[in-house]
Amino acid sequence: MNTSTPAQLSLPLPATPPVPASLPLQFRLDQRTRQRGLAHIAAIRAQLAARAAERDDTAAPTRRTRRAA
């Protein structure tokens, strides 16, 4: 992973249906809050994927060859 340049996250934002009026006020989120939440989740997923890739790279067993005696 190249750490010298920042990664650009892109979020495919699904079209959100209108909030039903029956939804209690404390559970209603505006569009900006939804976008920030999705961006945060995308960043966490990217971190987890990077850690998994590092684990896969370092956990791969190295094959030893026998030397002829």
Distance CA 43, CA 49 (A): 10
Would you say residue 33 has pLDDT above 80? yes
The stretch 8-33 carries a mean pLDDT of 77
Domain locations in the chain? 30-55
The answer for residues whose C-beta is within 8 angstroms of residue 19's C-beta and 6 or more apart is 28
Distance of CA 16 to the CA centre of its chain: 21
Amino acid at 34: R
Would you say residue 23 has pLDDT above 60? yes
Distance of CA 57 to the CA centre of its chain: 19
The stretch 30-37 carries a mean pLDDT of 90
To the question of pTM greater than 0.85 for the whole model, the response is no
Distance CA 58, CA 52 (A): 10
